[in-house]
Amino acid sequence: MTKIFTPTETAAILRAMQDIELGNNGWSYVPADPAVHAGLQAAGYVVLRSTDGHGQPAWKGYTRAAQESLRADRAAGLPVSSDYRVFRQQHAMPDYEGAILARQERETMDW
């Protein structure tokens, strides 16, 4: 059964689609609105519950291509989350950029 969306719901769905398509790497946060989720899923997008940058519950909308890319990364052993903190925890490395900037600052200081 196909749901008919109200004009307000349709505008919210189109805004979410625009955010996803114009977002970096084919995803964006979407409103926690069941009508928006249903509209996105009907249009072929993937909507998943996640967390935002502060660890608060949030919803993310993905293009189908972004999900296929994440699945390919999972098969390659890479983390699937688009959350940078998870990637950083699993791949902890020294802060080379910070060391380089500190050295440059020491070299250019006017003693």
Summarised one tens digit per residue, pLDDT across range 15-31 is 999 999 998 788 899 99
Summarised one tens digit per residue, pLDDT across range 63-109 is 988 888 877 766 655 545 555 454 444 445 566 777 788 888 888 88
Domains and CATH numbers, the chain: 7-108 (3.30.1370)
Looking at the whole model, is its pTM more than 0.75? Answer: no
Do 45 and 63 form a contact (C-beta atoms < 8 A)? yes
Pairwise CA distance, residues 39 & 107, whole Å: 57
